[in-house]
Structure 1
């Protein structure tokens, strides 16, 4: 994976918004553990960790529907039969995820350093994720970075989630900046599409999930190797 120099005006950036799963933290272990426990309760076969990674990023509803559809064939059930278990799956998953949240998660290299640099530069920060807001706030607190963010927006904070621009437009409003001055940092096409629709500049990291597809071909303003590298590029502009 190659990285590129961001193609936006660093001096125009007044705030930074970060995706959570696959950008700030590697949360795949939590997802897989909660889903595995859910499947046991539903008497459905297990699913590989790598397969789950392809479903992360579009919200809990998409994650569960995708998992259920995936296990349908190996369970000798039709997708329709398996999807009928969705309501029960939701309850089991939410209970297990709440208990596991953060246990199998680690911050990516450069995250702590990058957040510290950006805060020192006086840039207000936000976390804009498709994870339910309550789970996002809990995870940020358990990883000791909750105080870094002036705004936390989850997949259930607004009527629509990324790739809709609504969460980014709302976040920019709460931070008191124009969308054009809010840099979105993410790991997937959802983040890039939301940013483009909101009018925000956007850079991506190459180490996240993005549904199993490299980020090279996504319409973004650059790909940065880690958040500390990005912060160093932004800090002199302040």
Structure 2
């Protein structure tokens, strides 16, 4: 029936409303699209870390205008830091380590821009809440390759660090009801720091770090934590 012909003007809104209720969208998305399965989604911890890593990588890309005469930040440093996990009952960390200039890729001039590469070797003590109360202690040995890029041009005090490496615990780590299934773990880190003192001999930085086994074995809850670090050249 033609509503416009059969009804006066005041009835047109009612006809339009009835037509809208009678019409249905002819296609409905599959249930798997509306409700993704758990196995099709990355863990929220890993997804958040990868997003942060991508953003930091874009920031840390060397500028195409960097001069070939810019010396890299290649000094050896000793550091100490304190950290805490970000979710649930907090676990706490205390670490000591060294930053050593890398001798890899010796065929590439080390003064080709401000980007520098060094090794981060550390020993970390973890103190985590136990499932039945109290606390448990763990020891972690880690080795990372870390790329550093100054922010603001050559010689700038601010810098970004991007790190990727491996670590091993003295036993299976557990925090509350979360339990790692392997002592071996991968680790990735993003850091923002500030150098100061004579010839930038000292530095402080805040670092976001992720530890997990990369899906080698389940369960793989992973841990995200923040570390506050002080380092000094030796």
TM-score when normalising by structure 1: 0.25
TM-score when normalising by structure 2: 0.25
- Tell me which protein shows more strand as a share of its residues: 2
The higher radius of gyration belongs to: 2
Tell which has more relative contact order, 1 or 2 (C-alpha 8 A, sep 6+): 1
- Tell me which protein shows more helix as a share of its residues: 1
